[in-house]
Amino acid sequence: MAKGDHAGVLEELIMLAVFKSGEDAYGLSIQRMLRDAGRSLELPTIYTTLERLEEKGWVTSQLGGATAVRGGRAKRLFHVEGAGKQALKDAESARRRLGALKPALGRA
């Protein structure tokens, strides 16, 4: 497997947040979801990772409608594509295989 063919932990977390957010996945909603899951990330980190995921073809984005709340600016909405879903499945499969090999966590 070539470098970049698998998802890093940060990429996985952000893709999962995008996937779970459904049609309303944008920077701030992704940040809130990750924070609620116990991972605080700054928006620049999230957007940099989203750009990398777009370059890999795992995530796509489009501009949503402009809103008065945002001063007439549109949100950039994100969506996990098939290749991104496959990367998440592959990562989960690897975790399951490795989990079967490891001793119970918490033992010294």
Instruction: Give average pLDDT by consecutive 10-residue segment, the chain, 108 residues.
Output: 72 95 92 95 96 97 79 87 94 85 63
How many domains are contained in the chain? 1
- 27 with 106: CB under 8 angstroms? no
Q: What's the sign of the alpha-carbon dihedral 45, 51, 55, 60? A: positive
**Residue 105 lies inside a defined structural domain of this protein:** no
**Residue 48 lies inside a defined structural domain of this protein:** yes
**Residue 4 lies inside a defined structural domain of this protein:** no
Instruction: Tell me the residue range of the domain where 51 lies.
Output: 9-97
**Residue 108 lies inside a defined structural domain of this protein:** no
38: left (phi over 0), alpha (psi -120 to 50) or beta: left
**Residue 102 lies inside a defined structural domain of this protein:** no
CATH of the domain at 40: 1.10.10.10
